[in-house]
Amino acid sequence: MRGSVALGRGDHILAWRALSPDRRHTTEVLPAIRDMLAETGSEPRDVSVVGFSQGPGSFTGLRVAATIARMWQSATGCEVVAVPTLEVIAQNVLSCPDPPGRIAAILDARRGRLFGAVYERVGADALRNTAEAALHDAEPWLQSLEQPCSVVGEGLAEHQDSVIKAGLDPLPESIWLPDARQVLAIGRRVATAGRFCGPQEIVPAYLRPPECEEVYEQRRAEARARRGE
């Protein structure tokens, strides 16, 4: 998943940077933020609200985003807002010439599962969540979605056949990825509504344990079964 960072004032994007589409983005994010601040003549204390993409998604990417937001709040006293990653992805659809009315955003969760949430378009530039982000068995969940429904997100790379089989409409790969500019737009609405995070709430929304923990628990269960426990 490709990361990005953005800086804005009001409705305006002042600066934006895309990060490398590999694990190097974790080392690029702080220099990118530094460069954007310098480019706009800003200081860290000038940022009144920090928004971070909360998840679900990459464990490392989510931890980095939450850590930066928490450190910024601790250092400057800024407000922090958490933005659901699947809503960020779904927001991309609003830039389409004729955006659909119902959107499912998905990310692959491996082993035939996905993270999914459903949104309905409200007017020209807003979405309403109708099914909260959760971990699902892919095929049953996709089959359960009310039609018509369009599907967006990197989960399509793994589950596109199941999407088509369910009678849903897969959207183009060009709008699959989350983008910090959408985090900025959604975060602005969250901030206007006063839904700020306290220090203990600046945490990722993983929705499932890390894969290493799942493998460990599976092996423990298999060992207990062999022992007849």
Range of the domain at 137: 95-175
Nearest-angstrom CA–CA distance, 130 and 84:
14
Query: Is 160 in the same domain as 183?
Result: no
What is the total residue count of the chain? 229
pLDDT, tens digit only, all 229 positions of the chain: 678 999 999 999 999 999 987 656 678 999 999 999 999 999 999 999 999 999 999 888 899 999 999 999 999 999 999 999 999 999 999 999 899 999 999 999 999 999 999 999 998 888 999 999 999 999 999 999 999 999 999 999 999 999 999 999 999 999 999 999 999 999 999 999 999 999 999 999 998 765 545 544 566 666 677 777 7
Query: Is 169 in the same domain as 190?
Result: no
Query: Is 73 in the same domain as 112?
Result: no
> For residue 144, what are its two tokens?
């359960």
Query: Is 125 in the same domain as 20?
Result: no
Query: Is 156 in the same domain as 184?
Result: no
- Counted domains in the chain: 2
Contact status, residue 155 vs residue 106, Cβ threshold 8 Å: yes
Query: Is 130 in the same domain as 198?
Result: no
Query: Is 73 in the same domain as 12?
Result: yes
